Amino acid sequence: MEQLAGTVNMLRHHSDSLQALRVLEFGRLQKGIYLDHAAAALYTKSQINATHMDLLSNHYGNPHSRHSSSQLATEMIERTRLRVLKFFCTSSDDYSVVFTAGCTAALKLVADSFRWTDGTTGRAPGVFCYLNDSHTSVLGMREVAAQRGASVNCVSISDVERLTADLQWRDGVSTLRHQRACKSLFAMPAQCNFSGRKYPLSWVAAVHGGALDDRRPMQQSENETQETTAPPVAGSNTYVDGTAWYVLLDASALVGTAPLDLGEHRPDYVAVSFYKMFGYPTGVGALLVRNDSQGALARTYFGGGTVQVSLASERYHTCRLGISERFEDGTIPFLEIAALRHGFDVLEGMAGGIHHISSYAFSLARYVYERLDALCHHNGAPVARIYCDTRYDNVATQGAILAFNILKETGEYEGYAEVEKMASLYNIQLRTGCFCNPGACQRHLGLTNEQVKQHFQAGHMCGDSVDVISGCPTGAVRISFGWMSTLEDGQRFLDMVRTCFVVAHSTGEMHCDKSGTNVDNPCVLRPVSPFSDSAVVADCHGVMSAKTADTSHISAPDMQENESLRLSRIFLYPVKSCGSLEVHEWKLSERGLLYDRQWMVVTDAGIVLTQKRESRLCLIKPRLDLLAGVLWLTFPDTNPLSVPLAMDHDKQEQATSAERFTGTVCRARVWGQDCGAEAGRWLSACLNRPGCRLVAHDPGSKRTHDEGRTSLSLANEAQYLIISESSISHLFDSIAMTADDARPDPDDLMERFRANLVIAGGTPFEEERWESVQIGCHSFQSLGHCTRCAVICTNQRTAEFGRQLLVTLRSLRAGKLNFGIYVRASYSSSDATSTLRVGDQVLPAYRLVVEA
Is 400 in contact with 482 (CB distance < 8 Å)?
A: yes
What Å distances lie between residue 816 and 40, 367, 501, 661, 740, CA to CA?
30, 29, 11, 37, 22
DSSP assignment string, 260-298: --TTTS--SEEEEETHHHHS-S-S-EEEEEEGGGGGGB-
User: Per the omega criterion (within 30 degrees of 0), is the bond before 557 cis?
Assistant: no
Burial class (CB in 10 A: 0-12, 13-18, 19+), 220: middle
Largest CA distance in the chain: 89
Is 55 in contact with 335 (CB distance < 8 Å)?
A: yes
Q: What does DSSP say about strands 183-189 and 638-644: parallel, antiparallel, or unpaired?
A: unpaired
What Å distances lie between residue 190 and 162, 229, 270, 391, CA to CA?
18, 19, 10, 18
What Å distances lie between residue 278 and 67, 282, 432, CA to CA?
32, 10, 22
Q: Which of 577, 813, 827 is nearest to 687 (CA)?
A: 577
State yes or no: is 436 an active-site residue: yes
How many other β-carbons are positioned within 10 Å of the β-carbon of residue 222? 6
Is 475 in contact with 447 (CB distance < 8 Å)?
A: no
Q: Which of 669, 516, 643, 517 is nearest to 574 (CA)?
A: 643
Q: List, in sequence order, the alpha helices (H) in 346-463.
A: 354-374, 416-425, 438-445, 449-457
Q: How far apart are CA 279 and CA 176, in angstroms?
A: 42
> SS3 of 212, please?
helix
Burial class (CB in 10 A: 0-12, 13-18, 19+), 169: middle
Radius of gyration of the chain from its Cα atoms, rounded to whole angstroms: 30
CA angle 711, 818, 602 (to 5 degrees): 40
Helix or strand (DSSP H, E) at 819: strand 818-825
How many other β-carbons are positioned within 10 Å of the β-carbon of residue 434? 23
Burial class (CB in 10 A: 0-12, 13-18, 19+), 515: exposed
Q: How far apart are CA 720 and CA 184, in angstroms?
A: 58
Q: What is the dihedral of CA 380, 385, 391, 395, to 10 degrees?
A: -140
Give the DSSP letter of residue 198: B
Strand partners, 778: 775
What Å distances lie between residue 398 and 103, 395, 493, CA to CA?
21, 5, 20
Helix or strand (DSSP H, E) at 334: helix 334-345
Burial class (CB in 10 A: 0-12, 13-18, 19+), 59: exposed
**Sequence-ordered strand ranges (E) for 427-555:** 428-429, 431-433, 468-469, 472-473, 476-480, 510-511
| Backbone phi, psi, residue 106, to 5° | -65, -40
Q: How far apart are CA 724 and CA 765, in angstroms?
A: 7
Burial class (CB in 10 A: 0-12, 13-18, 19+), 46: middle
Q: What does the H/E/C string look like for 58-72?
A: CCCCCCCCCCHHHHH
**Candidates 436, 472, 618, 686; catalytic one:** 436
Q: How far apart are CA 635 and CA 799, in angstroms?
A: 12
Catalytically active residues are 436
